Structure 1
Amino acid sequence: MNRYFFGVDVGTQGIRVVLVDQNGHTVASGARHFFWGERFREEQSPEMWWQECSSIIGGIVNSLPKAVDKRAIMALSVTSTSGTVIPLDSKQKPLHPAIMYSDGRSVRQGKRCQKLALRYVADGYTGFNSSSGISKILWYMETYPEKVPEIALWVHASDYIIGRFCGNFSVTDYTNVLKSGYDLQTFQWPVYLIQELGFKKEWLQNVVPSGTVVGKLQPQLCAAWGLLPLDVVVGMTDGCATQMASGAVKPGDWNTTIGTTMVIKGVTRNNLIDPLGRLYSHRHPEGYWMPGGASNTGADWISIDFPTDLDALNTAAQRYIPTGKLAWPLKQQGERYPIMAPNAVGFAIDGLTKEVQYAANLEGVACIERLAYEIIEELSGEEVRAIYTAGGGSNSEIWLQIRASLMNVPIYKCKEASGALGAAIMAASYTFYSSLSEAATQMTTIDKTVVPQSELADKYEIQYQEFKQKLKDLNYL
């Protein structure tokens, strides 16, 4: 008999819920778009999140196909934005709207937190800024000092929804606490939080591995939805959930998601310490590390410079690769990964036809991706064995071939790599399966495998070295 798992993704502009079976097949889903005011990137209502979430789940369970036995729904989990935090009172009610990761009002507090972390934390995460939960907590304390005595607990976005499901708000996971100051090397909240910043010990949650069961679905919800008291699994951040859904969960596995920007996440056996701060590492529930970084280079240039005729451009690109032309389609000033160059600007060769420029841009992004993985291998001392890919940029077959040949590793295109599926995988990882690795293997599907072409790989090796030299000549690398 099939078993089923809910995955909930609370995003910045909406909620998506999926119900999948043990093989990752979606049997039901629902979504809702948020209609916030102008300040939605600063503050949002957690109560509204919950109302929309419970409404979607109620709609799903009330319209399930007859073939789906509600009694076989085993567990659920939640993913949401990293760095979003909420102060709760003693009755577990929000004292303030959720302070969103994208709220930029805590720049000053972020700088202070970073300086303290550099003093107190030897090899942990220290890259705090205005998008970090720790900075927002300090900002709230300084902005609303009269509210501080009422604070009983600080929680992250996914923790709040988990708490509404099972009543347990006091537990969070490895991924959510990274930007709240928790030391994933020592598994402790550092002393500077209390001694230097004035945090209260009771405000800080218990931290457990991602995938840990933290409660059962509350009786009133079981009754309302006609469900058994299924397991509620601690939440996780959206970027990590997407990585789970891509299938990149074992050491040596990496995921590149190419959307507006390019986000790279993977798994290493050892903690990856980047002295330049380009990369940071989450903790894997099986004891490994999950380094990641985000580039300003991505696929935004396609919609800006090549908004039409993509099919024809992709077909034409097959005739022109390798172009031997150096291009970097960076559409904003500054790069943060794989190079830290705030003054960097993109480059191209004048006089190229539209078709050749498009192909050269595809190659340029692939060069940035290879450089990112080259730096990862240097810092970790571990080989990148395979790359799983997702995002709109993975839909171009010629781009997949360019990337595989330029990096000289196989690329696996995921059938689905959504945060909601990642949450469902986490829900199944230690309730039905014995590990996250087993759950991801069974619940993810590879839509396409692209292997390097040796002739292309040889020519791209020369082009890549020329690309690196160009970055060096510009003092970017």
Structure 2
Amino acid sequence: MDTYFFGLDVGTQGARAVLVDQLGNIVGSESVKFDLDERFREEQSPAIWWRDCAAIITKILAGLSQTIDREAIRAISVTSTSGTVIPLDRNNLPLHDAIMYSDGRSVKQGERCMQAAKDHVQHGYTGFNSSSGMSKMLWYVEHYPDKVKNIALWIHASDYIVGKLSGNYHMTDYTNALKSGYDLNALEWPSYIVDVLGMKPEWLQQVVPSGTIIGKLSADLAMAWQLPRIDVVVGMTDGCATQMASGAVNPGEWNTTIGTTLVIKGVTKSQVIDPLGRLYSHRHPEGHWMPGGASNTGADWISLDFQADFQELTEQVPVLIPTGLLAWPLKHKGERYPIMAPQARGFEPESVSRELVFAANLEGVAFIERLAYEIIEELSGEKVNAVFTAGGGSNSKVWLRIRSAVLKVPIFKCKEATGALGAAIMAASYSYYSSLEEAASKMTHKEMQVFPDMELADSYEGQYQQFKYKLKQLGYI
């Protein structure tokens, strides 16, 4: 008998909900675009989120086939943006609109949080900036001193939806708590948050492993939706949820998402400590670690420079590779991972055809990806065994072939690598399955598998070493 799980993804400009069975097959899906004003990058109304999320869940349930038993719906979980925070009063009502991860007003507070963390935590999170939750909490306290006495709790974006579903606002998970300063080694809120930054202990949530069941669907919602009081599972940040949906959940497995930028996340047995701050590590529900980093190099160069003839150029790439040329399609000044170089500029070969520049750019992104994984292997002492991939850049078969040859590992593209599916996997991981690994293995499906062409890999080795040498000549590494 089939069992079903809701996954809800609350993004920056809209939300998506899916209902999936225990094998990850989607039986219902709806999305909505939020009605936002011009301040949406800084602040948003949580009430709008909840109104629209409740509406799309209602719509999915209204459109369900009669063959699906509502009594077989087991659990729901939520994913949302990392670093977005909301102050609640004693009645669990927002004192202020959600302060978004993309709000840049807390730069100075981020610097103070970073220094305090470096002074007091040996291996904890120190990468605070204006996108960090704790930076925003400190900014709010300093800019709204008259409201401080009314703060009962600080929560994250997904926690608000989980609270509306279950009535429990007091729990969050490892991934949401990281950028609010939670120590994932000691599994506690470090003392400097209270002693140095001035936060009150009662403002800080209880932190539990991702996938923990923290309550039941409220009686009112169960009645309105004609559902049993299903399990409500603590939320998760969107990047980690997408990693879950990609299938990269076991040690040695990694996910590269190529969109506008290139984001790498994976699983290691031990925590990865990066002295340069390029990487930071989430805590895996089963006790492993989930390091990750984001590059400014991605696929934006395609939409900016090659969109008009992209398909035609792509068809010519197979006969052009390996090009033997050096290109780095970094479209804006500065790189953050795998190279920490704010002065960095991209480069491309001169006096060659447009087709060759396009192919060399594909290779250049693959070289950046390999450099990123080399750093991960060096810092962790663990091997990268496989790469799961998502994002628009994963749709090109020839690019997958290039990347697999450069990386010398198999690349797997999953059919539905979305945050909403990742949330549904989290909902199933301990309410139905015995672990996250089991849930992901059952609920993700490989759409494409690309194994390294070793002849092409051998050809790329010298070109990759030349690429690294050029980066050294330019002073970037």
- TM-score between the two structures when normalised by the length of structure 1: 1.00
Alpha-carbon separation, structure 2, partners of 1:391 and 1:304? 17
Alpha-carbon separation, structure 1, partners of 2:405 and 2:59? 46
3-state DSSP of counterpart to 2:469:
helix
Q: Does 1:341 align with 2:347?
A: no
2:387 is matched with: 387
2:471 is matched with: 471
**CA displacement, residues 352-389 of structure 1 (integer Å, 9 cap, x when unaligned):** 10111100000000000000000000000000000000
Structure 2 letter corresponding to 1:452? P
1:147 is matched with: 147
Alpha-carbon separation, structure 1, partners of 2:390 and 2:236? 19
**CA displacement, residues 400-458 of structure 1 (integer Å, 9 cap, x when unaligned):** 00000011000001111100000000000001100000000000010011011111010
3-state DSSP of counterpart to 1:235:
strand
Identity of paired residues, percent? 66
1:259 is matched with: 259
Structure 2 letter corresponding to 1:397? K
Alpha-carbon separation, structure 2, partners of 1:16 and 1:62? 16
- Map 1:240-255 onto structure 2 (within 5 A): 240-255=240-255
- Which ranges of structure 2 fall in alignment gaps of 5 or more residues? none
The Cα of 1:126 is off from its aligned counterpart by: 0.1
1:317 is matched with: 317
- TM-score between the two structures when normalised by the length of structure 2: 1.00
- Map 1:162-241 onto structure 2 (within 5 A): 162-241=162-241
Structure 2 letter corresponding to 1:163? G
3-state DSSP of counterpart to 1:293:
strand
Structure 2 letter corresponding to 1:155? I
**CA displacement, residues 19-64 of structure 1 (integer Å, 9 cap, x when unaligned):** 0000000000110001211110000000110010111111111221
- Greater Cα shift, 322-331 or 311-320: 311-320
The Cα of 1:198 is off from its aligned counterpart by: 1.1
2:302 is matched with: 302
Alpha-carbon separation, structure 1, partners of 2:350 and 2:71? 64
- Which ranges of structure 1 fall in alignment gaps of 5 or more residues? none
- Map 1:345-384 onto structure 2 (within 5 A): 345-384=345-384
Alpha-carbon separation, structure 2, partners of 1:446 and 1:164? 34
2:269 is matched with: 269
**CA displacement, residues 156-187 of structure 1 (integer Å, 9 cap, x when unaligned):** 00001000000000000000000001000000
Alpha-carbon separation, structure 2, partners of 1:106 and 1:199? 16
1:35 is matched with: 35
The Cα of 1:309 is off from its aligned counterpart by: 2.2
Q: Does 1:126 align with 2:137?
A: no
3-state DSSP of counterpart to 1:241:
helix
1:89 is matched with: 89
**CA displacement, residues 293-315 of structure 1 (integer Å, 9 cap, x when unaligned):** 00000000001110122222111
Structure 2 letter corresponding to 1:59? K
Alpha-carbon separation, structure 1, partners of 2:25 and 2:201? 42
**CA displacement, residues 241-280 of structure 1 (integer Å, 9 cap, x when unaligned):** 0000000000000000000000000000000000000000
Structure 1 letter corresponding to 2:316? A
Alpha-carbon separation, structure 1, partners of 2:451 and 2:300? 26
Structure 2 letter corresponding to 1:346? G
Structure 1 letter corresponding to 2:337? Y
1:2 is matched with: 2
Structure 2 letter corresponding to 1:170? H
Alpha-carbon separation, structure 2, partners of 1:119 and 1:197? 12
Alpha-carbon separation, structure 2, partners of 1:31 and 1:93? 25
Alpha-carbon separation, structure 2, partners of 1:342 and 1:430? 43
Alpha-carbon separation, structure 1, partners of 2:193 and 2:358? 50
3-state DSSP of counterpart to 2:401:
helix
Structure 2 letter corresponding to 1:275? P
Q: Does 1:398 align with 2:398?
A: yes
1:411 is matched with: 411
User: What is the aligned residue count?
Assistant: 477
Q: Does 1:19 align with 2:19?
A: yes
Alpha-carbon separation, structure 2, partners of 1:466 and 1:169? 53
The Cα of 1:351 is off from its aligned counterpart by: 1.0
**CA displacement, residues 224-246 of structure 1 (integer Å, 9 cap, x when unaligned):** 00000000000000000000000
1:60 is matched with: 60
**CA displacement, residues 310-346 of structure 1 (integer Å, 9 cap, x when unaligned):** 2221110101000000000000000000000000000
3-state DSSP of counterpart to 1:341:
coil
The Cα of 1:82 is off from its aligned counterpart by: 0.2
Structure 1 letter corresponding to 2:366? A
Alpha-carbon separation, structure 1, partners of 2:323 and 2:428? 46
Alpha-carbon separation, structure 2, partners of 1:276 and 1:198? 28
Structure 2 letter corresponding to 1:264? I
1:50 is matched with: 50
Structure 2 letter corresponding to 1:159? D
Q: Does 1:429 align with 2:429?
A: yes
2:282 is matched with: 282
1:293 is matched with: 293
Alpha-carbon separation, structure 2, partners of 1:58 and 1:326? 53
- Greater Cα shift, 29-38 or 170-179: 29-38
3-state DSSP of counterpart to 2:187:
coil
Alpha-carbon separation, structure 1, partners of 2:161 and 2:324? 51
3-state DSSP of counterpart to 1:286:
coil
3-state DSSP of counterpart to 1:180:
coil
Alpha-carbon separation, structure 2, partners of 1:278 and 1:39? 30
Alpha-carbon separation, structure 2, partners of 1:141 and 1:47? 22
Alpha-carbon separation, structure 2, partners of 1:368 and 1:352? 22
Alpha-carbon separation, structure 2, partners of 1:11 and 1:453? 38
**CA displacement, residues 125-181 of structure 1 (integer Å, 9 cap, x when unaligned):** 100000000000000000000100000000000001000000000000000000001
